[in-house]
A and B are shown apart, each in its own frame.
Chain A
């Protein structure tokens, strides 16, 4: 997937803990999208970020979820006080103006 790095690949959290998912975009890309995917389903848009700026967060739940893309370092998707329903695969995409490339995803399991 052309250099988009996500970590960890797998993350197990107990209910009530925090989950932090990281995404390092391709070199030279300053835009990142986060998507959530349940098994056998499509990609649900969560948030679109530029460095130091949230452009569109219309897909983010109002509570417990937040995202950032600082000037230095990876983009972070943070889920506080996780619940079982947060279990899913989370993908980030790194974008130029005309193409988007995905990472391998983080599979979050809440036990």
Chain B
């Protein structure tokens, strides 16, 4: 079953608004990866986090690795139409199996 719980499932927001999504797990992880997938394309790595408490930015994107090592959030500031897509969190389980959250579908109203 799904080891990562990602929320919300979908969002429909106004252009210019800030967006926040998160992932939680019952397990402790050493890495959090955030991906974006555009329609018809493969997922693209946005941000990688490696330390508890780490806060990393990539342009308008900011992600944090939770202190408990069981959660992470991704924020997008000042949304624009090209932010549309599916955002996934991912982690390496024991044995290095890469598992994904179910995804957050982002739709932006221009």
Contact = CB atoms under 8 A, between A and B. Distances in A.
Asked if A and B are interacting partners, one says yes
B43 A48 contact: no
- Prevailing SS type, chain B contact patch: strand
Given A43-B43, A105-B42, A99 B48 contact: yes
A70 to B, nearest CB: 20
A55 interface: yes
Interface in A24-49: 31, 33, 35, 40, 42-43, 45, 48
A108 to B, nearest CB: 14
Interface in A64-111: 91, 93, 95, 97-105
Interface in B51-110: 86, 88, 90, 92, 95-103, 105
Contacts of B96: 31, 48, 55, 95, 97
Contact of A101 (B45, B92, B105): B45
A93 to B, nearest CB: 7
Give chain B's interface residue range (CB within 8 Å of chain A): 20 to 34
A55 B92 CA distance: 14
B100 A105 contact: no
A75 B95 CA distance: 20
A103 B99 CA distance: 17
A53 interface: no
A1 interface: yes
9 contacts: A2-B45, A42-B100, A42-B103, A45-B100, A48-B98, A98-B50, A100-B98, A101-B45, A102-B42
Interface of B: 31, 33, 35, 41-45, 48, 50, 86, 88, 90, 92, 95-103, 105
Interface of A: 1-2, 4, 6, 31, 33, 35, 40, 42-43, 45, 48, 55-56, 91, 93, 95, 97-105
